[in-house]
């Protein structure tokens, strides 16, 4: 356990993100015993000119809203009253580094002013995959401990690839501790720091409680059963549209329901021509458990590529926590669920697994799924972070 310490959390995603965010859940859990300042991702000039969808950030820049908001007794949310330099189009490393250090300096100065006002010293910095804007934070904030949290393989995403492949190893090396939400993501960067550990994924047990009764959403109520469901971002970067098309074509008697925002590739894919495939659009995170509870079987038709290697999807724990039979794409990380999830590689395997999930379930299997998911609480996840903090600090 770590108590009565001061944490600063930097994160790629902003607090108002509609998808689930590990860093937010971790910050909330840490704040039960420590003080936490969560930095909202600053907007850059290009995003500002395009029109930032987060109105509050614009209001802070215009001095219409205060940059600091208190979320609970021990947790504060900090917005930046300035715009950052856009970086990703800078191709020359030296120019990129100059601009990135400029951004880091402005952000660090803002953090230090606010932590001093709050009486927060001897900081523990928790950096959630924020390779750019936290690259110089150890030097500028001088925390007692810096933790780099790796939950995505950004070095293989086209947008990030050039600079992250260069900077992430350096950021790992200068951190005091590196943790990742899968062993595979941890193993990939362990050569850069000996104190690198996989800590698994977390789950909000209050939101995903199998003992609760969940209302059936109106847009799914009239869909023919059985329903095979997916929740999350529907992106060609992570999901296999061709696989969904093949499986749904072979099982026209099943309805396939996907809940979430789509990218352009999915919107134009022939999967939309199938009568038994339904795209219900983006939903409020509070509604997601209602949809999962209404599915007969859940599935995660993940695409296997450099981006998804080591991915530990939080949706798997959400599916299992509500007791749902689950079929997913087989990966090394998914092996941790193999006793409760039917893992597949081909469309044929998916078809047979879905048939089996619908026809061969039991109360015993359901209870086993719920128990596994409940062991992955955010409390247990953060306890592992505390264990490693104490290890590296000698506490």
pLDDT at 237: 85
Residues 174 and 232 in one domain: no
Which of 13-22, 108-117, 338-347 shows the lowest per-residue confidence on average (mean pLDDT)?
A: 13-22
What is the average pLDDT across 104-128? Answer: 97
Residues 228 and 339 in one domain: yes
Residues 123 and 135 in one domain: yes
Does a structural domain hold residue 212? no
CA atoms of 9 and 125, how far apart (whole Å)? 6
Does a structural domain hold residue 116? yes
Domain that holds residue 318: 218-374
Residues 226 and 367 in one domain: yes
Does a structural domain hold residue 159? yes
Does a structural domain hold residue 208? no
CB 68 within 8 A of CB 114: yes
pLDDT at 173: 98
Residues 367 and 383 in one domain: no
What is the average pLDDT across 233-261? Answer: 96
Residues 147 and 276 in one domain: no
* Confidence bin at 153 (pLDDT 50/70/90): confident
Residues 284 and 135 in one domain: no
Query: How are strands ordered across the β-sheet holding 341-344?
Result: 277-281, 255-259, 227-231, 297-300, 326-329, 341-344
Look at strands 6-11 and 35-39 and give their pairing: parallel
Residues 293 and 182 in one domain: no
Does a structural domain hold residue 315? yes
Say if residue 55's pLDDT is above 90: no
Say if residue 18's pLDDT is above 70: no
pLDDT at 194: 95
Distance of CA 167 to the CA centre of its chain: 21
Residues 180 and 238 in one domain: no
Give the CA distances from residue 262 to residues 52, 267, 283, in Å, rounded to whole numbers and listed in that order. 20, 6, 12
Q: What percent of the chain has pLDDT over 70?
A: 98
Q: pTM for the whole thing?
A: 0.90
Say if residue 159's pLDDT is above 80: no
* Confidence bin at 85 (pLDDT 50/70/90): very high
Say if residue 11's pLDDT is above 70: yes
Number of domains in the chain: 2
pLDDT at 297: 98
pLDDT one-digit tens code per residue, 177-190: 999 999 999 999 99
CATH number at residue 25: 3.40.50.11010
């Amino acid at each position: 356990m770590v108590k009565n310490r001061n944490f600063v959390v930097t994160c790629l995603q902003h607090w108002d993100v509609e998808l689930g965010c590990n860093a937010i859940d971790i910050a909330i859990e840490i704040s039960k015993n420590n003080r936490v300042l969560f930095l909202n991702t600053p907007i850059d000039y290009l995003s500002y000119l395009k029109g930032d969808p987060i109105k509050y950030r614009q209001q802070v820049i215009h001095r219409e809203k205060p940059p600091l908001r208190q979320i609970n007794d021990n947790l504060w949310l900090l917005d930046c009253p300035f715009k950052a330099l856009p970086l990703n189009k800078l191709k020359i490393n030296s120019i990129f580094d100059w601009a990135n250090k400029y951004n880091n300096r402005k952000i660090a100065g803002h953090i230090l002013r606010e932590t001093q006002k709050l009486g927060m010293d001897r900081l523990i910095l928790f950096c959630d995959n924020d390779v750019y804007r936290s690259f110089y934070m150890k030097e500028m904030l001088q925390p007692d401990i810096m933790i780099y949290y790796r939950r995505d393989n950004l070095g293989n995403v086209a947008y990030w690839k050039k600079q992250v492949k260069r900077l992430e190893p350096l950021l790992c090396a200068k951190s005091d501790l590196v943790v990742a939400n899968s062993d595979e993501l941890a193993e990939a960067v362990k050569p850069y720091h000996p104190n690198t550990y996989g800590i698994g994924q977390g789950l909000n047990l209050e939101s995903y409680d199998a003992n609760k009764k969940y209302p059936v959403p109106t847009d799914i109520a009239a869909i023919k059963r059985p329903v095979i469901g997916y929740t999350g971002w529907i992106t060609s970067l992570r999901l296999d549209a061709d696989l969904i098309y093949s499986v749904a074509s072979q099982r026209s008697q099943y309805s396939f329901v996907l809940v979430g925002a789509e990218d352009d590739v999915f919107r134009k894919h022939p999967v939309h021509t199938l009568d038994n495939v339904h795209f219900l659009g983006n939903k409020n995170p509070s509604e997601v458990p209602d949809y999962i509870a209404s599915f007969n079987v859940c599935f995660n038709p993940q695409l296997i590529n450099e981006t998804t290697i080591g991915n530990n999807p939080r949706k798997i724990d959400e599916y299992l926590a509500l007791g749902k039979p689950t079929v997913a794409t087989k990966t090394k990380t998914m092996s941790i669920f193999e006793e409760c999830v039917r893992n597949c590689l081909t469309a044929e395997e998916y078809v047979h697994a879905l048939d089996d999930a619908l026809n061969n379930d039991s109360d015993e299997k359901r209870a086993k799924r719920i128990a596994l998911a409940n062991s992955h609480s955010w409390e247990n996840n953060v306890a592992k972070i505390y264990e490693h903090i104490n290890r590296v600090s000698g506490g």
